[in-house]
Structure 1
Amino acid sequence: MKKAKEEYERILSIPEAEYEDYINQKKKEIVTFHFENNAFYKNLVGNSLPDKWHQLPVMTKADYQKPLEQKLSIGYNNPKHLYTNKTSGSTGTPMFFAIDKFAHAMTWANIIYKYGWYGIDLNSSYQARFYGIPKDFIGYRKERLKDFLGKRYRFSIFDLTDDALERILKKFKSTPFQYINGYTSSIVLFANYLESKGIVLRAVCPTLKVCITTAEMLFDKDKALLEKQFGVRVVNEYGASETGILAITNLEDDWQVSSELSFIEILDENNNPVPLGAEGKVVVTNLFNKAHPFIRYEIGDMGVLDEKSTFKKPIFKHITGRTNDFVVLPSGKKASGLTFYYVTKTVMQNDGNIQEFVIKQIARDTFEVLYKSNEPLTAIQIINIKAAAKTYLEPNLNFNFTRKDFIPRSKSGKLKQFESLI
């Protein structure tokens, strides 16, 4: 971390006039490294590196759906030297990936600096966390330990009934939380509950400084609701588990891209760059990750870069991002649509078999699961999914499984993992 912080500070000190040269240098370095040290990436590029950046392949999640060991660079295959994870599946397309330790430390240096804008110190500021949590004994205890060490208290998104929201409110009354962080839809539901009770959160939790939403779209009307009911500033993160924070609301209320670590392109359907102010596909290059190539990676969102963007300070004007409905169950219980990440991860194995999935609620007790895979789900896998649904949601739910050759996308080009049709 010390080395990463020093490098991050050096990048911040680069003048605007020299920043384009810095970006071009880092782009060349990372592409050359992976071409020379990563057989997976070289196979995609060909026998020689092209002369022009735009001639490099634009990669999608489908390109990465291979066993992790096939995608690692030479010298980066020791698990002790890597941070490994899988994408959340909120876009419907799970993928395993790795980040080398220095690149991961740079991600945290970026978070530390950007959160510092709002008086948040990750070593001391207490976080109210609206996230999911595993329900198996080991997974649950592991996350609770991480939360304790990370100065945060987790509110589960799996139960968002009025009784659960009242317990959350009670915890805020007795705990000196300094910031909120978590899934947008769950936080908005809590704000709606506060509005129904005529309560402003900062009046009962005066230590609260800021609310940071992530993982799902934050609409203007919801942001206004949060600011009204929480009584603090609302900050919006945009990113992904495989890329880290790509953008975050800055002090001028602009959605500032993390140009210190990433190069963002907005491309049309033919992978040509569009002018500033025009909408296109968001394509990301991670400038530091040597373990696993994320070069010209199509993240799955449509976006617009503001006309006032510069190389050092790109600004997102608009993102068509991940939105999720709520699950409403026969008992009346509500849960975030992202709950199905924890349900479907029971069959997300590191073999690339399950390529895409979406879940549609067609009745209070009935769900349709559409999936694309190399091989059909086995009977055991289906049993495991149903068991996980019972654990995370409630018993006696019905699931219809349909294997598809192609799963249609929305106009934004995304697969919406969960959609309620009731």
Structure 2
Amino acid sequence: MKEAKAELRKIVAFSEKEHEVFVANKKLEIVDFHLQNNPFYQELVGSNNYKNWGDLPVLNKQNLQKPLQERLSKEYSTKNSYVNKTSGSSGTPFIFAKDKYCHALTWASNMYRFGWYGIDFNTSYQARFYGIPMDFIGNKKERFKDFLSHRFRFSIFDLSDSVLEEFLHHFRTKKFDYINGYTSSIVLFAKFLQQKNIVLSTICPSLKVCMVTSEMLFEDDKLLLEMQFGVPIVNEYGASELDLIAFQNKEGEWQVNSETLFVEILDENNQPVPNGTSGRIVITSLFNKAHPFIRYDIGDIGILDEKSTLQNPILKKLIGRTNDVAVLPSGKKSPGLTFYYVTKSIIEDDGNVKEFVIKQTKIDTFEIEYVSEIALNLAQINKIEKAIALYLEPNLNFSFTRKKSLERNNRGKLKQFKSMF
């Protein structure tokens, strides 16, 4: 860790020109290493004689659906590497590895960014809104890791009012410094506080900041969190197999990690798009020697701000996942989040609806599942259907199902739009 922190400090201090040289060298170095030492990557590239960066293949998660042992570099094994599994929120989970130094740099990167808000991983007490293994041994191991990491975990598989009341009790009795966890769960807790007319920082004055991750944070939800928590809300975007990809800075911008990653925005032909244009987010891990993540398509669509530079890229917008695009009867393609934005703006006016998800079951058919105090009435349903016809296209079919709770994945994430078509 000491070495990793020192290297990160050095990278952060580079001038723009020094950073340009650093990135160019690291890109060459990591590709050459894997071409020499990784049979999986050698086979993928097909030749050592690539001339340009753009000649290299774009990796996707399907490429990685093979045993980890077949993807590791020479002299690396599951015993001398950090090994973990992705959450599978994209629909294709897989096991990955990082060499120990790369993993240390990931932690150094996290510590550096959280430090912008006065959070010290060694001393600051975290209120953690995450899933947890339900089996006895897995549960105890995770709780022990939480204890060592100075954090208290709120299990998010049951978010009923009685459980949220218990959450509240912990905030009254513990000196939390910050909240970190899945967006949807934290938003649900904020709605509970709103119902009770409680601002969290008044009962937990030690609270400094809240970091949300893994799921989309909408602007009105951010305003709700700021109002009910009484602290700054920070939006982070990361991937367990890589690092923090973007982290909201003190100016409110989503600052992309340019120290341990190289981030590209590519079109359907794997060509870079101009800043300000949407495209696939493709990422290279500049330090991971155990496993190649070179030009790795993470499965998300985003836009880099026009003012972005190589040293200081700014993620202007994260649009969603590539597999969360609705194909409509007219042939039009729309990000699934369009439905979510339109629906959300209508059904949350009175705070009745707690959460909802949208599923496309046929080309013209969508199911909306929601949790609420009172069922949606016909007028509200008609209003939603008219808005979607206006923003997308007419003659789409919707069904509305009120549920006690919504299905989350095994880590507790809520997938807000899913096309099953």
TM-score bracket, normalised by the shorter chain, equals 0.7 to 0.9
- Report whether the alignment pairs 1:190 with 2:189: yes
Counterparts in 2 of 1:37-116, with a 5 A limit?
37-77=37-77, 79-116=78-115
User: For the residues of structure 1 that align with 2:200 and 2:172, how far apart are their CA atoms?
Assistant: 9
- Report whether the alignment pairs 1:125 with 2:119: no
1:306 paired residue number: 305
User: For the residues of structure 1 that align with 2:243 and 2:136, how far apart are their CA atoms?
Assistant: 28
1:260 paired residue number: 259
2:398 paired residue number: none
1:390 paired residue number: none
**SS of equivalent residue, structure 1 residue 217:** coil
In 2, are the aligned partners of 1:92 and 1:416 still within 8 Å (CA)?
Answer: no
**SS of equivalent residue, structure 1 residue 63:** coil
Deviations 1:306-343 (A, max 9, x none): 01111111100000236999xxxxxxxx9999xxxxxx
Unaligned runs of 5+ in 1: 326-333, 338-359, 365-392, 398-414
User: For the residues of structure 2 that align with 1:162 and 1:361, how far apart are their CA atoms?
Assistant: 22
**SS of equivalent residue, structure 1 residue 80:** coil
Deviations 1:179-222 (A, max 9, x none): 00000000000001111111100000000000000010111111
**Identity of paired residues, percent?**
58
1:28 paired residue number: 28
Following TM superposition, by how much is the alpha carbon of 1:9 offset from its aligned partner in structure 2, in angstroms? 1.0
In 2, are the aligned partners of 1:30 and 1:290 still within 8 Å (CA)?
Answer: yes
Give, as a single letter, the amino acid of the residue that structure 2 aligns with 1:21. Answer: V
Deviations 1:23-44 (A, max 9, x none): 1111000000001000000001
- Report whether the alignment pairs 1:171 with 2:182: no
User: For the residues of structure 2 that align with 1:416 and 1:173, how far apart are their CA atoms?
Assistant: 31
Following TM superposition, by how much is the alpha carbon of 1:17 offset from its aligned partner in structure 2, in angstroms? 2.4
Give, as a single letter, the amino acid of the residue that structure 2 aligns with 1:275. Answer: P
Counterparts in 2 of 1:279-294, with a 5 A limit?
279-294=278-293
User: For the residues of structure 2 that align with 1:198 and 1:260, how far apart are their CA atoms?
Assistant: 42
Give, as a single letter, the amino acid of the residue that structure 2 aligns with 1:41. Answer: Y
User: For the residues of structure 2 that align with 1:298 and 1:416, how far apart are their CA atoms?
Assistant: 20
Following TM superposition, by how much is the alpha carbon of 1:420 offset from its aligned partner in structure 2, in angstroms? 11
Following TM superposition, by how much is the alpha carbon of 1:49 offset from its aligned partner in structure 2, in angstroms? 3.3
In 1, are the aligned partners of 2:188 and 2:355 still within 8 Å (CA)?
Answer: no
User: For the residues of structure 1 that align with 2:164 and 2:316, how far apart are their CA atoms?
Assistant: 33
User: For the residues of structure 2 that align with 1:101 and 1:294, how far apart are their CA atoms?
Assistant: 15
CA distance 1:416–1:223, change in 2 (3 Å): closer
Give, as a single letter, the amino acid of the residue that structure 2 aligns with 1:65. Answer: Q
Counterparts in 2 of 1:126-165, with a 5 A limit?
126-165=125-164
CA distance 1:90–1:42, change in 2 (3 Å): same
**SS of equivalent residue, structure 2 residue 122:** coil
The two structures have a TM-score, normalised by structure 1, of 0.77
CA distance 1:133–1:73, change in 2 (3 Å): same
User: For the residues of structure 2 that align with 1:256 and 1:61, how far apart are their CA atoms?
Assistant: 25
Deviations 1:36-61 (A, max 9, x none): 00000000101223110011000100
In 2, are the aligned partners of 1:19 and 1:312 still within 8 Å (CA)?
Answer: yes
- Report whether the alignment pairs 1:278 with 2:241: no
1:4 paired residue number: 4
Larger RCO (CA within 8 A; separation ≥ 6):
1
Q: Aligned residues, how many?
A: 343
In 2, are the aligned partners of 1:91 and 1:417 still within 8 Å (CA)?
Answer: no
User: For the residues of structure 2 that align with 1:242 and 1:417, how far apart are their CA atoms?
Assistant: 22
User: For the residues of structure 2 that align with 1:193 and 1:106, how far apart are their CA atoms?
Assistant: 38
Following TM superposition, by how much is the alpha carbon of 1:417 offset from its aligned partner in structure 2, in angstroms? 8.6
Counterparts in 2 of 1:264-413, with a 5 A limit?
264-321=263-320
Give, as a single letter, the amino acid of the residue that structure 2 aligns with 1:154. Answer: R
Give, as a single letter, the amino acid of the residue that structure 1 aligns with 2:319. Answer: T
CA RMSD in angstroms comes to: 2.5
